[in-house]
Amino acid sequence: MAEILVRLQKLYPDARCSLDYADPLQLLVATILSAQCTDARVNQVTPALFRRYPAARDFAAADPGALEDAIRSTGFYRNKARSLIACCRQLVAHHDGRVPADLDSLVQLPGIGRKTANVVLGNAFGIPGVVVDTHVARLARLLALTVQTDPNKIERDLMEVVPRGEWTQLAHLFIVHGRRVCVARRPRCAECVLNDLCPSSQV
């Protein structure tokens, strides 16, 4: 695991969260919108969205139809609008409109699972968390870091082998590597810096 991290950090020294945000609420909203949608598309939508709804209270009081129209291009916009409104109503009611900086409180918010919570904790608050998205889950299995398919179990397995200080960065590294080299449909094993460490390598 240590060698995997060293090699990927050398290859991707600027790996970071690719969602644009200025505060924890913006990151929370952007992460909800990123489900089944590219980060690039979300980044096209959020500047106007955040101007229209600058605070949790604004999202909480939003007209559902207007919010749906504002986020339509991210897909699944009805479900996402419902989640955003319900989540922000909880933030207003229980957290004075602020995003809490602890996992237990975050996952109690409507529409927020451990993945979204760890994105927010790691990137907005600097609190380490292992984010398990499709890229992280796939690479973790290919590298034999887990045999699990359940994201929560994969998260626990990775927490055992990855130093806590690297938990947040791990996802950034695996995501960029999964997009550029270890592509799901046709992994480019011959170009991969991990091919000698990967049990699944086709080299």
Catalytic site includes residue 104: no
CA-wise closest residue to 171 among 195, 196, 145, 189: 145
**Residue 70 corresponds to which amino acid?**
A
Residues 114-127 as b/e (b if ≥16 CB within 10 A, e otherwise) read: bbbbbbbbbbbeeb
Among 133, 153, 157, 196, the one annotated catalytic? 133
Among candidate residues 78, 93, 101, the one with its CA nearest the CA of residue 28: 101
Q: Is 58 a catalytic residue?
A: no
Residue 97 Cα distances to 22, 59, 90, 92, 100, angstroms: 16, 10, 8, 4, 9
Amino acid at 104: D
Closest alpha carbon to 73 in 41, 103, 48, 35 = 41
With beta carbons less than 8 A apart as the criterion, state whether 199 and 143 touch.
yes
Q: Which of 115, 153, 157, 196 is catalytic?
A: 115
Tokens coding 86: 């319900």
- Contact in structure between 145 and 133 (CB atoms under 8 Å): no
Provide the annotated active-site residues: 115, 133
